A and B are shown apart, each in its own frame.
Chain A
Amino acid sequence: MSNCAHVQRQLSAYVDGELDPATHVQVEEHTCTCDECLEHLLFERSFRDQVRSAISDVSAPAELSQRVRVSLVEAAGAEPSGIRAKLPPPRVLIVLAAAASVGLAFWPGGLLDQGRTTAATLAPMLRDVVRLHSNALPSDIPEAEGDRVQRYFRGKVEFPVRPARFERPDVRLVGARLSNVRERQAAALFYDVHGRRVTVVVFEFPSTPAAAFDEPFEQRDSHVFYQDIQGYTVPVRNHAGLSYAFAGDLDRRALLQLAASARVSD
């Protein structure tokens, strides 16, 4: 039947349910009486099923739901519970990497467990960080190079102190000092950033609500958690269960970018 060629061309759309009602009925009736076209129809249906089942569903990685929840909380601007009214809400600012050449290594970790209450606990600690910076206390060690600093703190604090590094020629580690943040031991690292002072305080606080991502990034946005404390913007990064809080005499954007660009070697 010359009809068959025509019907067979319609079968794809027929199986997709996309034919207009009149044509749909025509094809249906034809395939009831024509073996050859029926054969084609059955194949078309089976092919559709096979394509569908060949592409199987995968499960989302475990941390995706965490990640999604964090971003929803931030988007809603939801307030952490138990926070005193005068404390500004914690925020996450998306900081653009300066250029691909500022090689950023992503800091793994930063799991948000009880993000809302940790922000409240964190604030007093960050006040101490600010105090450490604004008091401009002298360095404990005369010459500061990464290794020396690390060795200095060994035995004095109960965590390894790996200084933050920056791929910028105008950033130098100039000193370090043993200190504390609330009752916790802390290592204060002093940097000279283009002539200005920046203090990075390292202390044990594993669950800072910093949304950190595992993949290395080239030109992507970086999420940096910060709080505004007494006129200072204090970004906080996470690495291996430790928090690195930045306080400095830079404008807010510059400090956030600096914090975003920080790396810690393992």
Chain B
Amino acid sequence: MAWFGRGGAKRRQSDFEKEVLPHLDALYSAALRLTRSPEDAEDLVQDAVLKAFRFYDRFEAGTNFRAWLQRILINTFINRYRRAARERKAFEGPMAQPVGDGVMSRAALRRLREPVSEAERRLLAAEIEAALERLPEEYRLIVLLADVEELTYREIAEVLGCPIGTVMSRLHRARGAMKTQLVAQARSLGILSDEVEPDDESEQAAEPVSLDRYRRQREAAR
């Protein structure tokens, strides 16, 4: 470690500390999503903050500090915590299904984008989380980076060390798989009826969500 003189080092450290502490919650959230373990998440945040501190002079004042910290966190994660990244399991499970363009009717599209009640909104959110969890690690990570951390395709490609085309196709497949699963679940929950005429306006009548049915289904799934 370079010594900047004792006073200098102390000042730098306390400045940096003041800047970093407000971002800890966001960093921890991201770390938890990535590592899926509270202990690993804490370690990851600590490692990332230390790394950021070491490279503090490379940060351009006036640019987005949080985004800079986030990039470091993600890079640290990629370098240290990912296991056997290049799995060839890309075509198992939900990824095996072809992502057809006509998979969703207009009525289904309309129905799913506007939950009729808070309860339904929460049900759908739970299904989305479940669908995300079901994705293989590589695909799950890409969806997180794109949709939650909001990195650009180029940034994702840099961070993952793969071509931008791979990022786009994986993202497409991952989202497709999630949508397919969402539609299937919405059908079994009764949010979407099984037979829906593509342009039949009468099908737009909201179906009441059956919590009983949801609970029974959850029980059966265990």
Which one of B3, B50, B148, B172 contacts A71 once the chains associate, using CB atoms below 8 Å? B50
A17-B152, A75-B50 given; name 9 further pairs at CB < 8 Å.
A39-B109, A42-B113, A43-B113, A45-B113, A52-B148, A57-B29, A60-B29, A77-B9, A79-B10
- Say which residue of A36, A55, A64, A78 sits within 8 Å of B9 (CB atoms): A78
Interface residues of A in 29-54 (CB under 8 A from B): 36, 39-40, 42-43, 45-48, 50-54
Within 8 A of B (CB), among A42-89: 42-43, 45-48, 50-55, 57-61, 64-65, 67-69, 71-73, 75-79
Judging by beta carbons under 8 Å apart, are A16 and B146 in contact?
yes
In whole Å, how far is B117's beta carbon from the nearest beta carbon of chain A?
Answer: 15
| Distance from B8 Cβ to chain A, minimum over Cβ atoms (Å) | 9
As a 0/1 sequence over residues 23 to 56 of chain B, the CB contacts with chain A under 8 angstroms (1 = contact) are: 0111111001100001100100110011001100
**Cβ 8 A contact of B12, one of A9, A43, A53, A76:** A76
Residue of B nearest to A18 (CB): B153
Report yes or no: A58 in contact with B29, Cβ–Cβ below 8 A: yes
A215 touching B46 in the complex, CB below 8 Å, given contacts A47-B179, A75-B54: no
List the B side residues contacting A55 at CB < 8 Å. 33, 129, 132, 144, 147-148
Q: CB within 8 A of A75: which of B32, B53, B125, B146?
A: B53
B50 neighbours in A (Cβ, 8 Å): 71-72, 75
- For B16, the chain A residues whose CB sits under 8 A away are 72
User: Which chain B positions have C-beta within 8 A of A73?
Assistant: 13
Q: How far is the CA of A52 from the CA of B3 in the complex (A)?
A: 43
Q: Is the CB of A51 within 8 A of B42?
A: no
CB pair A43–B109 under 8 Å, yes or no, is: yes
B61: interface (CB < 8 Å): no
In the assembled complex, A8 has its CB within 8 A of some CB on chain B: yes
A12 lies within 8 A of chain B by Cβ: yes
16 contacts between A and B (CB under 8 A): A5-B101, A12-B172, A43-B113, A45-B113, A46-B114, A51-B132, A51-B143, A52-B147, A58-B28, A60-B45, A64-B28, A68-B17, A75-B53, A77-B1, A78-B6, A78-B9
Q: How large is the interface on B (under 10, 10 to 19, 20 to 34, 35 or more residues)?
A: 35 or more
Which 3 pairs across A and B sit closest by C-beta, in order of nearness? Answer: A76-B13, A46-B113, A60-B28
The answer to whether B49 and A71 touch across the interface, beta carbons within 8 angstroms, is yes
* Inter-chain contact B132/A71, CB cutoff 8 Å: no
Flag if B24 contacts A64 (CB, 8 Å): yes
Most buried by B among A40, A45, A67, A72: A72
Question: B125–A68 contact, CB under 8 A?
Answer: no
Q: Known: A36-B106, A61-B38, A65-B21. Contact between A75 and B13, CB under 8 A?
A: yes
- Asked whether, in the complex, the Cβ of B42 is within 8 Å of the Cβ of A67, the reply is yes
In the complex with contacts A39-B110, A57-B26, A72-B129 CB distance below 8 A: no
Closest to A46 in B: B113
Given contacts A36-B106, A75-B1, A78-B13, contact A54 B128 (CB under 8 A): yes
A13 on the interface (CB 8 Å rule)?
yes
